[in-house]
Structure 1
């Protein structure tokens, strides 16, 4: 029979001066064990609001194997701050005859009174967590109302410089001379009635003007023109936001036209395009504006009436959408129609700002037929090579599990951004960037290994779809699924086509 052992568990969510370190927690627990042998499990950077922590899950696994005799913690909220989670864990401890010890609270889990006291304490632990969340939200709101720069990098056109406001060290936005001129140019040109996004992006490309070392694109331009951070805060701007339903912190007298402003919004606030700003907070800020309220409002009202720009629209013109890229620049190819009614594939960068020579002449119907024939031939060759044998790739399974964990972790970090202070925001943003890099690497590796996991059943399904391609009942979305199952990407010009296969 396997020997059961004592275990120390330690957790620290945020490394702060006023929080006890993991090392100190372990020292307290070692004293409780009086020198007995033990194993240590520790989770750093994980909240106690749930049990989804790597080392804690390993501990649960050891308990279920019958390898744990006693679990020692510095304080019971190191295990959990959730009543439900804690109750489930106590059930698990009792099921596997595991003793639970809090080194600073001295609970005896073998008696009904001890268990009752534990439940009472965990209620207060959860109350403390919810109170902390409320304090963080209140602090965030308070800083918003005073015009503090909350987090992240400055909007394009500004840079951040350290400053002190009301005795609190923070950062203030200061105009970056070159970038500020670019921003002013965008607003001034779009304020002209006949100027479109395309006119501006093409002009910037022709003049060699880059935004963060990249070509200006319509989507970015659209978002920048909507941001009131660039506008002078005067009574005209005050009246506009008041009619839009925004919560305006300052008195009308503060809108003197000498300062800029911030528009704050939480993650869960839903803005109805440009028609409503309900529940968002407008506050006069200490930085200088880049454009007059008149110019900003002319742009804003033009945007409110603009229905031609549709970002993220569902593909409907070709079942190759999302897969086909320009062979010269790598931008997406989109469907355009000439006056005679013929449909062609055209480089989106060429269309946006003439920053690419284009892909040449590619008729949509002919190109789709070419790709259909290529898919049919590729699948036929693949079936001959495989011979119908189904393969299992443990490495790919592990990568898929890791990808799911990474995506879950990204979601959790995104949840922390609501109401977080500047320190937590900086940490979360940095962590999200690292995780996203890992996510992209995993996705690429999984795509490369997919050849080893496609089953005979999937092969036959794809073959059936291709055989039924022209049937009227075989719809557009089905064709997109087939392409997604077989092809990673297509790069094309009128001179060559390069297909990256998934099989």
Structure 2
């Protein structure tokens, strides 16, 4: 029976000298170190030279050496079993770097030998020494962390911040915070508007209109409102210290805002009962007179008992009489039916979506208001993707009822403009859906309109709406970029 061949230990020879002059000295050159290491390898059974790594003229104060980096890459790749040097200081002169290198060797199962100092991690004594060194390395890291924490605490007590990006309203000059006038004005606006409205989302909406940026999140406003640095203080480990920087707002204003945030809040901004199930409450505006259309209801006695019907009524008819506005009111169920039936109908028509996508690309070539420039459409957004996303959203809303449906609607819809002739839905992403009464008009591939009947009779009756045969056509128009299109489809 053939004897099993012993496994060879693949050895890496690493040599280094600090200067070119040392590299030329006979007994201190890389070649002299290599010869001594080769003699050692020849004396060990099962050892073989896998690769020689030379760094002539490189300092041992750091690990930024080409041959050493190549050696580490080969170790990670599993090409080396043992690293052998003439002395430990040939590998590195930094204790911290040495500890880190030993940890890398240990992680990848690689041993280390210093020929002249008999440091050999393949022996029990060598492994004991290695473990002791790694313990000291961990101890040194913990000491360094403690020193950093102490330094940060001292800086905070002196009124200085500890690195990182400067908070909104400030810039850093020479390690100190200095007020940046333009952004500081934004901070003041946020606090004053929040105290006035008592709603962070209302502040966000105001900033979006001011900056023409519909993607600004509520988290930006909340981060500013919760940061005590704007009062001239420094926060560290939950403690406040007087800062060396100037305050943007007063402590009184900051504390007032914190008190408002600490107040118990409702889980939803939806109107209270009996209108909490109406998804468009507070979102509808009358096109004819510009007034808000607020929820209303009427109770009627039926054979089965008393039944309640809900409407959206133009508030001008409440203040100035029923004939003050021709819009008057619309059944809540009918408005919901108009919007979602047509969105579903659009989403089920591939040609309809395709035509809107083509029209959308043409719209994006038109000039925009100053300061708002559209980004190019992505080829990744196809009519098929837009159609599937719209279908998923509409079907998801259709399955929901009550508050769940109201929340889903309000997540995507920002405003609804209603009149007898037109319904316009503005989404939070910036997209707009417009419905026009167009009786007996066939579907056209040119404008992708939907056959509809006039809804002018809606306001003439307070009875609940019957099943609709047709409803206003809807058009998608003016989305500024791909992200907004996807947001419109997915909400």
TM range (shorter): 0.3 to 0.5
Report which of the two has the higher share of strand: 2
State the TM-score, normalizing by the size of structure 1: 0.41
State the TM-score, normalizing by the size of structure 2: 0.42
Q: Which structure's relative contact order is higher, taking Cα pairs within 8 Å and 6+ residues apart?
A: 1
Greater C-alpha radius of gyration: 2
